[in-house]
Amino acid sequence: MRVLAIDSSGLTATVAVVEETQTIAEYTINYKKTHSQTLLPMIDAMAKMTELDLASVDAIAVAGGPGSFTGLRIGSATAKGLGLAWKKPLIHVPTLDGLAYQVYGCEDLICPIMDARRNQVYTGIYTFSRRAGTQEDSRKVAPVFQVLRMQMAVSVEELLRRLNVYRRPVVFVGDGVPVYEKALAEGLKVPYSFAPAYMNRQRAAVVGTLGIQYFKAGKYETAMEHQPEYLRMSQAERERLQREKSEKISIRNLEVRDAAAAAELEYQCFSDSWSENSIMETLANPHTLCLAAEKAGKLIGYALVYAVGDEAEIVRIAVEKEQRKQGYGSRLLEALEECCREKQIRRLLLDVRLGNQEARRFYEKAAFQEDGVRRGFYENPPEDAVLMSKEIGDCSRKNHETAILPSRKGREESIII
């Protein structure tokens, strides 16, 4: 088996062509150049030097993370592009597995560390154990690669705590060693050492060798399926999330211009989603109350209510999946109750699946009371409905009793908070 291997997860850019018993070529650069400038020229130069048709490889192994966000994207994009062009499978080799595998046969703990900034490291804990020799030759042993702790993003203090628990010597590899060497020396209570220069950074030949083992174990994917493993959000993503959290939510009337966005939320939230036309028809109905929850100019939730006399039934209320558990459903409900008071509506009604404990708790917290159970109310899957209501304003409800009401088919749950 022949594999093209790529690793651009750190400052080092490295590519190789590896077979089961030998490395045909390896090209490694550890220098401050953008991987987008070097990676493809390195692969091309390696192929020319070995007179190798790279399209003849059986698979492409790529260090899939964690590591530099930019480096990982470049490496993954390169591997995906070549995989699609050559119709070859991709082998996702965790970056830290590849680093640890360089210290082949070591029975001490092997701890690769990559600087993740913010006083954190990407790390894992590995070792090799000895497998007994074969019947033909009892002297021949094969070291077995063991993952004691899968790769993770943790603080240096947490890593030291975990290593000290093992009470075994540790060998460190990776670009995090010079950054945290002092902290390691101060915090470790076990013997430790640092791998020599030829094995303390990423090497594509190791990624390829480990990739062949993973391929034989069935651990491979198509080029379309491959995604890097970042372990945590990038700085830009963290800043965006922080900005979104600090953005204020506004509640306003749902308008015709919101119909397309509401229909998209319908598709995400409900199996019997309403179309854009259905939502526009609801907006045009004079007997409806329609509210929108907006954040940073984006529709993140809505409520659709039918009003008859002094009662109103909630037929749709939903919040975007990524925005849930932040109190936005409660804000929508509070605004809805205020609208009801203004329109002299004295009672809110709704129904919820019997098994939807989360939604039932949400409404109970909002002072809704259970009125009864309607048998076989829902379909897909069939389930009873709990009917709930709440008095609006100064009126309070007393002596509520649970009743069994007649069944009615053909309804899906309309509450997604």
All residue ranges of the chain with pLDDT < 70 are: 132-138, 233-247, 393-417
| pLDDT at residue number 19 | 97
| Token pair 């007393």 in the structure block, residue | 398
> Do 38 and 70 touch, CB atoms closer than 8 A?
no
> Do 293 and 302 touch, CB atoms closer than 8 A?
yes
Dist. CA 340–CA 344, nearest whole Å: 6
Residue positions counted in the chain: 417
Angle (CA) 215-221-224 rounded to 5° is 155
Dist. CA 100–CA 171, nearest whole Å: 9
> Do 17 and 25 touch, CB atoms closer than 8 A?
yes
| pLDDT at residue number 379 | 83
| pLDDT at residue number 413 | 55
Gyration radius of the chain's alpha carbons: 30
Lookup: tokens for 261: 């966005």
| pLDDT at residue number 85 | 95
Q: What is the pLDDT of residues 212-236, one digit of tens each?
A: 999 999 999 999 999 999 887 555 5
Give the predicted TM-score (pTM) of the model: 0.59
Q: What is the pLDDT of residues 33-75, one digit of tens each?
A: 789 889 999 999 999 999 999 999 999 999 999 999 999 999 9
Domains identified in the chain and CATH numbers: 1-102+195-246 (3.30.420.40), 105-189 (3.30.420.200), 247-416 (3.40.630.30)
Sheet containing 2-7: give its strands across: 23-30, 12-19, 2-7, 59-63, 90-93
| pLDDT at residue number 245 | 60
| pLDDT at residue number 236 | 57
218 phi-psi bin (left φ>0, alpha ψ -120 to 50, beta other): left
Beta bridge partners of 185: none
